[in-house]
Structure 1
Amino acid sequence: MTSPVTTFAPADAAALTSKARGWQRWLALAFSAILLLVILFELREGELDDLVAALPNAVPFYAAFAVSYLALPMFDWLIYRRLWGLPLASLTPLIKKRVANDVMFGYSGEAYFYLWLRERPGLAEAPLRTIKDVSILSALAGNAMTLLLLIWAWPMLTDLTLTMDPRLLLGSGAVVIAISFAILLFGKKIFYLSMPDLRASFGLHMVRSATSTFFLAMAWYFALPDVGIGYWVMFAALRMVINRLPLIPSKDLLFAAAAMVLTDQGSAMGAVVAMSAGLFLAANLLVGILLTGTDFIGRRRR
């Protein structure tokens, strides 16, 4: 006597798939909860009253700041849309990815984005390897832009010998070049994406880096127009160079020295830069609260 053949209805298959992804949903929910707790802690520790008092009244300042803030998730979306055809709705988890990386720790945002993709089978092909490639390309583009700006700003940086030994600049640049060269040398073993996809993604990362830097300089200019836009662009370039060079100590003091060298309004420039740094934190807190709140509500409805 032959045993009957067991068949599964589509509803049964959907239920099995849902159970198989249950742990990923709970992990994504736990990630959102941790992110929300970190945001609330930062909000408790922050000095929002002082920040609000320092904010300028110029509307163009907020427009330029928004472009600088959203450049990273927007260009990430362009990259992943080219690779996977992601819809515009995927911009939301990419913004949350930026918040997580800024508020929690490096690449925590990539972990969240991977969990978000895993909950949506069929949306992305080889998500872990692709996210890894895009993240490496982002670092390479940042290194390349840093080296270009380092060459452009070298005369200004060598004037800052009172607070920094110029040999540290050379050493830091050598470290950046060595890391980038090592990645390129073993590229065939590291990268999953095809060469056309790698080139396109790298190019978009370079444009993103330039866009974010330029519009941050524009925001500073609108906050303090007495300082020429050329000075602000140079200062934004110096900020990126100093932030990414690994061997530079006392980076805040170096920013202050750069402001004093650039213009006689060094203290005012320092205040604007400090205010914009606080605004980046405030934007992360506000956006993080909104996105995690909607995430909790959406999961509860499901």
Structure 2
Amino acid sequence: MSNGESVYGPYLPNVGSHRGLSETIPENLVPLITKGVNWTQWIGPLVALGFLGVVFFEVRNLDFAQFLAKIPSLPSFWLLFFAYYFSGPVSEWFIYRRLWNIPLSGLVALVRKFISNEILLGYLGEVYFYAWARRSADIHASPYGAIKDVTILSALIGNGFTLLILALLYPLFHTLDFGGVANTAYYSIGFVLLTSLVIMVLRNRLFSLAGSELRFISYIHAVRIIFTTAAIALMWHLLLPDVDFRWWLLLAAGRLLISRLPFLPNKDIMFAALAITIIGHDSEIAELIALITSLLLMTHLVMATILSVPEIIRKRSKESRL
């Protein structure tokens, strides 16, 4: 193979010399689809259509009057809410800005990635973002290896915080009655621990970025997790200020723990039980949790609609010119 040729094909020149990548790319990182139909041009419109389908499905029975009546009016709440909502895409933009020097417009693709994972299928967003990266003329590195490393590190850092919070909150969780899901919770904790150990043992085979880039990515993920945990605690405190902020912070840590555990069929019930145990105010807590959940879902739907229409129009305009 010549120096100017990449194992990822001619559209990714000189991968080995790009800053942040190891000098050689393992053969098992070659994308599965390298020939035939250019599937990357279709993934964007398909994701857009999926967005619109979910929007129509979710709003068909929504009581807009009741929903609007419950919306908070505090400007500080909305400032925190949108900072919380966009923290994931913005943090990843900083990561890919360092790796690929992507423009600000890449933030739109990362928001689509985020919403795809939230309302369509888990990790579909990574597929969409990989397709976007392959189409981008400004990216001359390996999109597959970088996206893989960022995704794995996100899971690994999240697992680390999960185990840390579990150790801190174990005396509290040990006193809660979770019914028939207690054993499942233990299996989930074991799975988190096992996967983290496997990633650490196989890190030299799994990761393709340089050590300095991996440390930077880990730092950004850690900052994001700490920020979102504090932000949602502060949002709860703004809506129910009678409760000391420290209790909300404790509840936010418990929420992060429960959300990261796999195999749990009743995460909402477990979180509600934890919230009522820590905070009390049974009816107010239930309404607060439901309100934040509804606001996040509605924001997903609004953003999905905003991002879908231009993508579909762009695709139709391109087809009409052919």
Matching of residues 31-180 of structure 1 within 5 Å: 31-161=47-177, 163=179, 169-180=185-196
1:206 to 216, 222, 231: 222
8 Å CA contact 1:117, 1:124 repeated in 2:
no
Write out per-residue CA displacement over residues 89-142 of structure 1, whole angstroms, 9 at most, x where no aligned residue. 111110111111101010111111111112213424110121111111111111
Percent sequence identity is 33
2:312 to 274, 296, 299: 296
SS in 1 for 2:200: helix
What is the alpha-carbon distance in structure 2 between the residues aligned to residue 265 and residue 286 of structure 1?
A: 31
Unaligned ranges ≥5, structure 1: 1-19
Unaligned ranges ≥5, structure 2: 1-35
The offset of 1:87, in angstroms, is 1.2
TM-score (norm 1): 0.86
Q: CA RMSD in A?
A: 2.2
Distance 1:299 1:58, change over 3 A: same
Q: Which amino acid aligns with 2:256?
A: M
Distance 1:271 1:66, change over 3 A: same
What is the alpha-carbon distance in structure 2 between the residues aligned to residue 139 and residue 42 of structure 1?
A: 29
Write out per-residue CA displacement over residues 68-90 of structure 1, whole angstroms, 9 at most, x where no aligned residue. 11110010101111111111111
What is the alpha-carbon distance in structure 2 between the residues aligned to residue 51 and residue 163 of structure 1?
A: 32
What is the alpha-carbon distance in structure 2 between the residues aligned to residue 120 and residue 215 of structure 1?
A: 33
Q: Which amino acid aligns with 1:268?
A: E
The offset of 1:51, in angstroms, is 2.6
What is the alpha-carbon distance in structure 1 between the residues aligned to residue 43 and residue 220 of structure 2?
A: 31
The offset of 1:41, in angstroms, is 1.8
Which residue of structure 2 lines up, in the alignment, with residue 189 of structure 1?
205
Which has the larger share of helix?
Answer: 1
8 Å CA contact 1:243, 1:251 repeated in 2:
yes
What is the alpha-carbon distance in structure 1 between the residues aligned to residue 54 and residue 99 of structure 2?
A: 32
Paired residue total: 283
The offset of 1:249, in angstroms, is 4.5
8 Å CA contact 2:102, 2:138 repeated in 1:
no
What is the alpha-carbon distance in structure 1 between the residues aligned to residue 204 and residue 194 of structure 2?
A: 17
8 Å CA contact 1:68, 1:215 repeated in 2:
yes
Distance 1:267 1:21, change over 3 A: same
Indicate the structure (1 or 2) with the bigger Cα radius of gyration. 1
Distance 1:114 1:249, change over 3 A: closer
Q: Which amino acid aligns with 1:135?
A: T
The offset of 1:166, in angstroms, is 6.1
What is the alpha-carbon distance in structure 2 between the residues aligned to residue 267 and residue 224 of structure 1?
A: 12
